[in-house]
Chain A
Amino acid sequence: MSSVLTNPLRVGLRQERVVPPQCLVIFGASGDLTHRKLIPALFELFRQRRLPSEFAVLGCARRPWSDDDFRARMAEALAAEVAEHPTAWEQFAAGLFYEPVDLQEPPTVVRLGKRLEQIDRQRATRGNRTFYLSVSPAFYGSGCRALAAAGLLADPARSRVVIEKPFGTDYASAQALNKVVQACAQESQIFRIDHYLGKETVQNILVLRFANTIFEPIWNRNYISNVQITAAETVGVEERAGYYESSGALRDMVQNHLTQILALTTMEPPGRFDPESMRNEKAKVLQAARLANEAEPWKCCVRGQYSGGGSKARPIAGYRQEPGVNPQSTTETYVATKLFINNWRWQGVPFYLRTGKRLPKRLSEVVLTFREAPVHLFDAAGGAPTPNQLILRIQPDEGANIRFEVKAPGSGMRSRPVDMAFSYDDSFGEPSDEGYVRLLADAMLGDPTLYTRSDEVEAAWRLYTPLLELIEDAPEQLPIQPYEARTWGPAAADNLLADDGLVWRRP
């Protein structure tokens, strides 16, 4: 969202919850995520007065840094913010500490426990701890085991652990990882993060659906003909080739982010807004979701990979030409797939999910297309009346549009479509918090509403298991289709909808 003149009457009205006294322990503190996302989010929380004075951050990694080294590196990474708010940074940085820890080395974890006790005394953090595993996914299980062995997860009321994505690489590995972490801590202590759920506009799907009465009666198979969920990126693989080569778009985007949006769009109304009611409904709808053709999954999915494009002046490298990428790589950078949800609300409504890199626009949106009017009484300017659509724009230009037919001016009775638009910028004009601000605060508050539960994660992996198995066992049946960078993906993705008489919405 764009930043405009602040509304002076809005200041202080957000009624944000304040984090209770505690120490946030970040494993992988020397990594990118810490200085790009976590520390900026914590500093933002501090400036919003949502962190108590009894608060500390303990960075942990294998590097032999001191507290001062850690503070200096974080200050360097946040140079612009530090320059803008030097006093606040000084106060915040006083609560930053560092301890060299290798989660595979038990003595260092024992030493960590002693350091935490010392910080408890120094900062009055009262033994409350949130452990954030920003480490390689290969170490999630062993990391939890090491914490549990050192007794650091023993008190469910005072300790919790946040686990970054990806949570597993398929259904079996997610199940295995769940078993390991649930043996170390209670489910209520485990926070599996999906940063898409931290986005204001993703959360707005819930408010739009469940705080208004006008949508719920038509939010079902009787009125909705199909749903499209798109997450398009303009960037390529950038610096993440190492990770992306083993992951691909299906694992990196579809199984988590797009599927969470799908769950929020399709879940039943919870009885109340609390973590378990919410997650029960999400899990239920994901358990009811199926690929459109599980027996022949290649018929309901398209995989693509961007090839070179751009102009002569500004050429764009193809995926296989990116640094760190195997020149014969068959990793997909684009996926489109079709799903059904086998329940009373959604039976027979196709859901089309697509995501890709190097597409023409950066955007995420949900498009609900309603059924056509049963009888066409009027001439339509476009030949036939355009079906009503509700478009939820998740990013950028956050907001929502409703498209409907009106009478075109003139003596005849011709109809044409118009949009009724809601824009966060026009209505609120304030930038929303980065997703990590909300999610970190929630974890430290012990509120798992926006975190995914074990059964949700497993249901999401199970949903795509036929595709993952196909890619593993018979990749030739789901070949990689090249598409030119800065186009809307391979032509086969259009055919996926064309077979149903539909087209992708061109945003």
Chain B
Amino acid sequence: MSAQLTLQAPLVLPPAEVGPYLESLWRTELKTSAGATTFTLVIYEASWLQQQLIRTGRLDGPITGLLDSDLIEAAKEAVPSCGLPLSTAVMDQRLSWALGQHPGHHQADDQRGQFVDSAISIHKPRRLITLAPTLVQDRALETLVAAYCPLIEEGQAGQACGDVVVLRGGRGSLQQGLPLVDSLVSSELPCWVWWNSSLDEAPELLEALAPPSRRLVVDTSLGAPRRCIDLLVQRIQSGQAVNDLNWMRLRTWRESLAMVFDPPARRDALDHVVQLDVDVEGDHPLKGLLLGAWIADRLGWHLVSSYLVDGDGVGYGVAAEFERTDGTTVQFRLMPVPVGVPKTHPGAIVGLRLICQPPDRAPLCVILCSESGGCMRLEAGGMASMELAEDVVPVPVESEEMELARLLGGGHDTTNPLMASAAVLAARLLPA
């Protein structure tokens, strides 16, 4: 879906005038439109990669915060010139860090927060507040304000407008703008906070933006795995409603594996799993661990031990032993594998193999492979005597905004209990 621009050119205002201006806006220009009684969405939109690509002249502006195809293409081209392995994912923060070491002074219009993606605007957010940190660390705080009204599709009822507020500046000045954010978040409507950046950065800002009363959306593929999973678990255990886009991107893998066992004739094989292997791209194991943890949790396995194993030149893998409910041991192994064409986010799943040994029947070997890559390692050897169930898992092509819109539209006002259980187990699976 294309992004919709705001109804009017955003107005630059001093922070102190933002609140009064919005009140007057609703009293005058928007008086004929119903204000949406939906939710407030606060987005921390760092877009470091886009900013660095533009600064170094590898991408034309404007800065939008959208992860579009031009940006992905430019980032892929930048990977070798930054001396990074070809299998580096576009969103791997090492890429934007490496670009930061390159010279360049190209500038572009900064339009972050001034777009309302159609996928999001269809849910009629009452207020969108974007925090847009700039590369220039000491840049003073700028605040911009505009109203927007979603384009009405044929047959849709009623127009409900909202407004957008952008806080732009160096990280320090954004911190100073936090009281303004708090004053703009209505206590009468739910508030979502989307931390659209690495979880390694600005912990104080994240802490201040996302108190327990707000619904938090993070992406645990962005940041150091230990920090990401610990933060997720800590938020879950505090009772905060939290969602993880990295978990959401596992949807097609979970669906594909569940489909294999939908036919009732196959179900009892799930009680007899002896081995689970997951291959992931590069050295970010969290997505693979979440997948393994979800399976283990659903099948009631008990974690006995986990440890690091040599990743055959691509970092480290994780091996673990589980115990099934009948006491039998299940071997789990997550291995990093090099790939020629990496996905956008670090740690994408390459393949999964599940081996079941039901008594009095031939063993069942389930192999799921990503559609964009092979999984020869998992298909290698020893399966001639097994019933083989192979499938190809489609790679979702949805944007971040579409994923977020799925959350907003689904009314996920609590933490997904499956994710909560999987995250807690994944944190234990990841060796210290």
A residues apposed to B, CB below 8 Å: 4-5, 7-13, 15-20, 49, 52-53, 126-127, 156-157, 186, 188-189, 274-276, 425-430, 446
Q: Is B411 an interface residue (CB 8 A)?
A: yes
Q: Are B255 and A13 touching (Cβ within 8 A)?
A: yes
Q: Are A18 and B416 touching (Cβ within 8 A)?
A: no
Q: Are A12 and B418 touching (Cβ within 8 A)?
A: yes
Question: A428 contacts which chain B residues (CB < 8 A)?
Answer: 262-263
Which residues in window 143-186 of B have CB below 8 A to A? 153-158, 160
- Which of B37, B160, B258 is within 8 Å of A126, CB to CB? B37
- Which of B37, B154, B254, B417 is within 8 Å of A276, CB to CB? B154
27 inter-chain pairs at a CB distance below 8 angstroms, sorted by A residue, are A4-B267, A7-B258, A8-B299, A9-B258, A9-B270, A9-B295, A10-B258, A11-B298, A12-B416, A12-B417, A13-B258, A16-B410, A18-B410, A20-B411, A156-B157, A157-B34, A157-B157, A157-B160, A186-B157, A189-B157, A274-B155, A275-B155, A276-B154, A426-B263, A427-B262, A427-B263, A428-B262
**Contacts A8-B299, A12-B417, A274-B153 known; A429 to B410 CB distance under 8 Å?**
no
The closest CB in chain B to the CB of A127 belongs to B37
- Taken together as a complex, chains A and B put the C-alpha atoms of A20 and B38 apart, in Å, by 9
Indicate with 1 or 0, residue by residue over B220-257, a CB within 8 angstroms of chain A CB atoms. 00000000000000000000000000000001001101
Indicate with 1 or 0, residue by residue over B409-432, a CB within 8 angstroms of chain A CB atoms. 111111011100000000000000
**Contacts A157-B160, A429-B264, A446-B157 known; A8 to B298 CB distance under 8 Å?**
yes
Question: A15 contacts which chain B residues (CB < 8 A)?
Answer: 251, 406, 410
Residue of B406, B413, B416 ringed by the most chain A CB atoms within 10 A: B413
Q: Is B200 an interface residue (CB 8 A)?
A: no
- Which 7 residue pairs across A and B have the least CB separation, nearest first? A18-B411, A276-B155, A429-B264, A9-B258, A157-B158, A188-B157, A8-B298
Q: Is B73 an interface residue (CB 8 A)?
A: no
Question: A10 contacts which chain B residues (CB < 8 A)?
Answer: 258, 261-262
- Taken together as a complex, chains A and B put the C-alpha atoms of A188 and B416 apart, in Å, by 32
The closest CB in chain A to the CB of B417 belongs to A12
Residue of B157, B254, B406 ringed by the most chain A CB atoms within 10 A: B157
The closest CB in chain A to the CB of B34 belongs to A157
**Contacts A7-B261, A188-B157 known; A52 to B417 CB distance under 8 Å?**
no
Taking the closest CB of chain B, its distance from the CB of A191, in whole angstroms, is 12
- Which of B255, B265, B412 is within 8 Å of A18, CB to CB? B412
Q: Are A188 and B412 touching (Cβ within 8 A)?
A: no
The closest CB in chain B to the CB of A50 belongs to B411
Q: Are B261 and A17 touching (Cβ within 8 A)?
A: no
The closest CB in chain A to the CB of B267 belongs to A5
- Taken together as a complex, chains A and B put the C-alpha atoms of A20 and B156 apart, in Å, by 17
Taking the closest CB of chain A, its distance from the CB of B256, in whole angstroms, is 10
Question: A5 contacts which chain B residues (CB < 8 A)?
Answer: 264, 267-268
Q: Are B267 and A429 touching (Cβ within 8 A)?
A: yes
Q: Are B270 and A8 touching (Cβ within 8 A)?
A: yes
Question: B299 contacts which chain A residues (CB < 8 A)?
Answer: 8
- Taken together as a complex, chains A and B put the C-alpha atoms of A10 and B299 apart, in Å, by 11
The closest CB in chain B to the CB of A5 belongs to B267
Taking the closest CB of chain A, its distance from the CB of B219, in whole angstroms, is 19
Question: B406 contacts which chain A residues (CB < 8 A)?
Answer: 15
Question: B156 contacts which chain A residues (CB < 8 A)?
Answer: 188
Which residues in window 381-432 of B have CB below 8 A to A? 406, 409-414, 416-418
- Taken together as a complex, chains A and B put the C-alpha atoms of A267 and B267 apart, in Å, by 38
Question: A276 contacts which chain B residues (CB < 8 A)?
Answer: 154-155
Which residues in window 254-311 of B have CB below 8 A to A? 254-255, 257-258, 261-265, 267-268, 270, 295, 298-299
Question: B411 contacts which chain A residues (CB < 8 A)?
Answer: 17-20, 52
Question: A126 contacts which chain B residues (CB < 8 A)?
Answer: 37
Question: B265 contacts which chain A residues (CB < 8 A)?
Answer: 426
- Taken together as a complex, chains A and B put the C-alpha atoms of A40 and B257 apart, in Å, by 31
- Taken together as a complex, chains A and B put the C-alpha atoms of A472 and B267 apart, in Å, by 57
Question: B153 contacts which chain A residues (CB < 8 A)?
Answer: 274
Q: Are B155 and A188 touching (Cβ within 8 A)?
A: yes
Q: Are B267 and A7 touching (Cβ within 8 A)?
A: yes
Q: Are B258 and A429 touching (Cβ within 8 A)?
A: no
- Which of A11, A189, A274 is within 8 Å of B418, CB to CB? A11
- Taken together as a complex, chains A and B put the C-alpha atoms of A4 and B262 apart, in Å, by 11
- Taken together as a complex, chains A and B put the C-alpha atoms of A226 and B326 apart, in Å, by 56
Residue of B34, B160, B262, B418 ringed by the most chain A CB atoms within 10 A: B262
Question: A427 contacts which chain B residues (CB < 8 A)?
Answer: 262-263
Question: B261 contacts which chain A residues (CB < 8 A)?
Answer: 7, 9-10
Question: B416 contacts which chain A residues (CB < 8 A)?
Answer: 12
Taking the closest CB of chain A, its distance from the CB of B406, in whole angstroms, is 8
- Taken together as a complex, chains A and B put the C-alpha atoms of A275 and B157 apart, in Å, by 12
- Taken together as a complex, chains A and B put the C-alpha atoms of A18 and B413 apart, in Å, by 9
The closest CB in chain A to the CB of B37 belongs to A126
- Taken together as a complex, chains A and B put the C-alpha atoms of A425 and B406 apart, in Å, by 29
The closest CB in chain A to the CB of B158 belongs to A157
- Taken together as a complex, chains A and B put the C-alpha atoms of A226 and B224 apart, in Å, by 63
Taking the closest CB of chain A, its distance from the CB of B340, in whole angstroms, is 31
Q: Are A4 and B264 touching (Cβ within 8 A)?
A: yes
